[in-house]
Amino acid sequence: MKQGLILIAIGLFALSGCSSEIPVVGKIEKTEEEFIGSANALKGEITGIIYPSGATCMAPYKTHLVYDSNSTYSLNGTIKCSDGRTGTWSAAGSNSIGRGIGTLGGEKMSISFGNVGIINSY
C-alpha cells in the first residue's frame, strides 16, 4: 500500500510539471474587439477578457485525451460573457496550434489557440 501511494505521488508530481493551459485569442469581425484568454484542459473551459470593453467570458467544452503533440482534435461549445453576450464556437487543431470560428452576440468571431495563437493573431 505504501509503495502504491508513493507511485501515485510521483505520478502527480510529474503531471504538475505539464502545463494544462494554452493561450486563446479571438477577434470579433464587425466590432474588431479582441478576446484574450486561456484554455484549461483539466477544467474543460476557456476563460478570458474582451478588449476594450473588459467583459469577462467563459466557454466550457468537453476535454479530449491527446496522446502527443501531433494528435489532432476538434472542440466546440458555447460562450457566455458578463456583458450578456452569448454565442457558439468550434475549433480544430493539435496541442501546439489550432483555429476556429464562432459567433458572439450575433457577430462572427475567429479564434486561434495554442503555442502560436497570440503571434498569429497580429
107-114 vs 97-104, strand pairing mode = antiparallel
- 45-93 pLDDT tens trace: 999 999 999 999 999 988 766 666 677 888 899 999 999 999 999 998 8
pLDDT at 8 over 50: no
pTM over 0.75: no
pLDDT at 13 over 60: no
Looking at residue 1, its pLDDT comes to 42
Phi/psi region, residue 117 (left: phi>0; alpha: psi -120 to 50; beta: rest), is: alpha
Cβ-based burial of 98 (10 A; exposed 0-12, middle 13-18, buried ≥19): buried
How wide is the angle at C-alpha 61 spanned by C-alphas 43 and 59, nearest 5°? 90
Looking at residue 47, its pLDDT comes to 95
- 98-117 pLDDT tens trace: 899 999 999 999 999 886 54
pLDDT at 119 over 60: no
- Ordered by where they begin, the domains of the chain are 20-120 (2.40.128)
Asked whether 30 and 104 are in contact (CB, 8 A), the reply is no
d(CA 48, CA 56): 6
pLDDT at 21 over 60: yes
* H-type alpha helices, 1-122: 2-16, 117-120
Average pLDDT over residues 19-47: 89
d(CA 38, CA 41): 10
Q: Integer distance in angstroms from the first to the last C-alpha of the chain?
A: 53
Band of pLDDT at residue 18, cut at 50, 70 and 90: low
pLDDT at 16 over 50: no
d(CA 15, CA 59): 24
